[in-house]
Amino acid sequence: MKLYIIISFLVFSAVGFSQDGWKLIYENDAEGNPVNGDLEELILAIRNGEMVRIYYNSKKAKHSNTYVEHTALVKFFTIMNSPQGRFVTAQIDPIIGQIPDFEEEKVVLKENLEWSLIASTNGKNDTMTRNLISGEIVGHQIRKWGTKWFIENK
């Protein structure tokens, strides 16, 4: 009987406390094409004040099985209706710069560097690195990648 109670408690705990808190609402590829979901549903979620999290990965060009994955909460949105169509951008809080070291299997912080990101449903993502001491911009580029867009389950 004790074993049954313990197993029941463990099953209940696993089901009750490990529910997925995020739902994939939209996904675009590096060219801005929809892969999953509906852009209008993402826009509606943003307009309704939903919490949004983005996910993307960066693969090494010569080794597609070597990559890093990133996820972040979105801090600021822009919904643009341009002559080429509608798209969403999402800005995250700047972070201390970091670099993956695949050989040593670690991620190291870049001293005095801050990294900023605006991800976009059109695949054109803006990244910028700034020296925190001098304020100088040491890197700024548009990079193309696909992004997954999640909203918080309620």
Write down the domain spans for the chain: 21-152
Which tens digits make up the pLDDT trace of 96-145? 999 888 889 999 999 999 999 999 999 999 999 999 999 999 999 999 99
Which of 92-96's residues contact partners 24+ apart within 8 Å by CB, and which partners? 92/54, 92/116, 92/117, 92/119, 94/130
DSSP assigned state of 66: -
Q: How confident is the model at residue 64 (pLDDT cuts 50, 70, 90)?
A: confident
pLDDT (tens digit per residue) in 2-33: 544 444 433 443 444 444 799 999 999 999 99
Q: State how far the Cα of 134 lies from the Cα of 132, in Å rounded to an integer.
A: 6
Place of tokens 């800005």: 91
Q: Is 12 exposed, middle or buried (0-12, 13-18, 19+ CB in 10 A)?
A: exposed
User: What pTM was computed for the model?
Assistant: 0.82
Cβ neighbours for 127, distance < 8 A, ≥ 6 positions apart: 115, 116, 117, 139, 140, 141, 142, 143
